[in-house]
Structure 1
Amino acid sequence: MPQTYAKVQFNENGTPIAEHFDDVYFSKDDAEAETRYVFIANNQLPERWKNWRTRRFTIGETGFGTGLNFLLAAQTLIEVLQQSPQTKLRHLHFVSTEKYPLPQLDWQRALQPFRHLALCEALGTIKVYPVAGCQRFTFSYQELHFTLDLWIGDVLEQLPNIQYEQAGPIDAWFLDGFAPSKNPGMWQAELFAEMARLSHSTTTFATFTAAGFVKRGLQTAGFNVEKRPGFGRKRDMLAGNFSTCDTVPPMRDTPYLKRAAVKCSHSNTPNIAVIGGGIAAACMAYALTKRGSEVTMITKGNALADAASGNPQAAVYPQLNAQPSYLSQIQVASFAYCKQFYIHLAQSGANFQHDWCGVLQIGFSETVQQRQEKLIDNEIWPNSLIYSVSQQEVADITGVDLPYAGLFIPDAGWLVPAEVVQAVMDAARQLAMVNVSFNTRVIGIEHTDSDSVNVHVRTETGDEKVQQFDAVVFATGHSSQQLPLLDQLPMSLTRGQVESINSQTPLPALRTVLCHKGYLTPALNGRHALGSTYVKQDTNSDYRETESIQNLATQAKSMAACDWAQTLRHDGVGRAAVRCSTPDHLPLVGAIPNCKQQQQQYNGFMEKRRRELPQEPAVYANTFVLTGLGSRGFTTAPLMAEVLASQMFAEAAPLSHELLATINPNRFLLRSLKRGEG
Structure 2
Amino acid sequence: MKQPIWFSRQPTERPEAVIIVGAGLAGATTARALAERGIRVKVLERQNKPAQAGSGNPQGALYAKLSARPTAHSDFHLAGFQQVTRLLAPLMHTHPDMVSLCGVLQLALTDKEAKRQQELIELAHYSAELVQWVDQTTATAIAGSEVGAGGLFFPSAGWVSPPAFCHWLLEHPQIELITGCEVKRINRTQDGWMLDTANRTQYSASVVVVCGAAEAAAFEPLHHLPLKPIRGQTSYVEASPGLPHIKTVVCGDGYISPALHGRYCFGASFNLHNHDAKLTIQDQQENLEKLVAALPGFAALNTASIKEGRVGFRCTTPDYLPAVGPAPVFDSFIEHYGKLRDDANWRFSTPASFHDGLYINAGHGSKGLITCPISAELLAAQICDEPLPLENAMSDLVHPARFIIKKLIRNQL
Q: TM-score, normalised by structure 2?
A: 0.93
1:654 and 2:389 correspond: yes
Distance in 1, matches of 2:150 and 2:344, equals: 52
Per the TM alignment, residue 500 of structure 1 is displaced from its structure 2 partner at its CA by 0.9
Give the letter for the 1:542 counterpart: K
The equivalent position to 2:5 in structure 1, one of 227, 252, 255, is 255
After TM superposition, the structure 1 = structure 2 runs for residues 438-457 of structure 1, keeping only pairs within 5 Å, are: 438-450=179-191, 452-457=192-197
**Aligned position for 1:564:** 297
Q: Percent identity over the alignment? A: 27
1:475-494 mapped onto 2 (5 Å cutoff): 475-494=211-230
Q: Deviations over 1:559-613 (max 9, x none)?
A: 3xx6424332433111111000111010000011111210111111446753x42
Distance 2:28 2:335 in 1: 36
For residues 403 and 418 of structure 1, do their structure 2 counterparts lie closer, same or farther at Cα, with a shift above 3 Å needed? closer
Partner of 1:547: 283
The CA deviation at 1:465 is 3.1
- For residues 102 and 21 of structure 2, what CA distance do their matches in structure 1 show? 33
Could you say which residue in structure 2 is the equivalent of 1:312?
A: 58
Shift of 1:354: 2.1
Query: For each residue in 1:23-70, what CA deviation from the matched residue of structure 2 results, as whole angstroms up to 9, or x when unmatched?
Result: xxxxxxxxxxxxxxxxxxxxxxxxxxxxxxxxxxxxxxxxxxxxxxxx
Kindly provide the CA deviation profile for residues 346-391 of structure 1, in whole angstroms up to 9, marking residues without a partner as x. Answer: 67x6674321110001111212111111111122222221111112
Question: Which letter does structure 2 place at the counterpart of 1:257?
Answer: F
Query: Partners of 2:63 and 2:235 in 1: how far apart?
Result: 20
Q: Does 1:365 align with 2:115?
A: no
Name the aligned partner's letter for residue 363 of structure 1.
A
Deviation at 1:253, TM superposition (A): 2.1
The match for 2:311 is: 576
Partner of 1:519: 255
CA contact (8 A) 1:312 1:500 kept: no
Tell me if the contact between 2:60 and 2:159 (Cα under 8 Å) persists in the aligned partners.
Answer: yes
CA distance in structure 2 between the aligned counterparts of 1:507 and 1:325, rounded to whole angstroms: 40
2:320 aligned with 1:585, yes or no? yes
Mapped partners of 1:571, 1:315: distance in 2: 20
Answer with 378-387 or 572-581: which moved more.
378-387
| 2: CA distance, partners of 1:392 / 1:279 | 36
Are 1:302 and 2:48 matched, yes or no? yes
How many matched pairs? Answer: 409
Residue 479 and residue 539 in structure 1: after superposition, are their counterparts in 2 closer, same or farther (change >3 A)? Answer: farther
Residue 339 of structure 2 aligns with which residue?
604
Q: Which SS does the other structure have where 1:514 is aligned?
A: strand
Q: CA deviation at 1:445?
A: 1.7
Look up the equivalent residue of 1:383 and give its one-letter code.
A
Counterpart of 1:258, as a letter, is S
Contact 1:400 1:506 (8 Å CA) reproduced: no
Residue 339 of structure 1: how far off its partner (Å): 0.7
Match of 1:371, SS state, is helix
Distance in structure 2 (CA, Å) of the matches to 1:546 and 1:482: 31
| Aligned residue runs from structure 1 range 99-114, under 5 A | none
Is 2:274 aligned against 1:534?
A: no
Matched, 1:340 2:86: yes
1:435 shift after superposition: 1.9
Give yes or no for contact 2:235–2:306 (8 Å, CA) kept in 1: no
Aligned counterparts of 2:115 and 2:345: Cα–Cα separation in 1:
45
Which structure would you say has the larger RCO, counting Cα contacts within 8 Å and 6 or more residues apart?
Answer: 2
Do 2:107 and 2:148's aligned partners in 1 also have CA atoms closer than 8 Å?
Answer: no
Give deviations 1:187-225, integer Å, cap 9, x for gaps. Answer: xxxxxxxxxxxxxxxxxxxxxxxxxxxxxxxxxxxxxxx
Query: Which of structures 1 and 2 has the bigger CA Rg?
Result: 1
Distance 1:549 1:440 in 2: 36
Q: Which runs of 5+ in 2 are unaligned?
A: none
SS of the residue corresponding to residue 67 of structure 2 reads: coil
Pair 671,383 (structure 1): closer, same or farther in 2 beyond 3 Å: same
Change (3 A) 1:471 1:261: farther
For the pair 1:499 / 2:229, whether they are aligned, the reply is no
Residues 280 and 626 in structure 1, CA contact (< 8 A), matched pair in contact too: yes
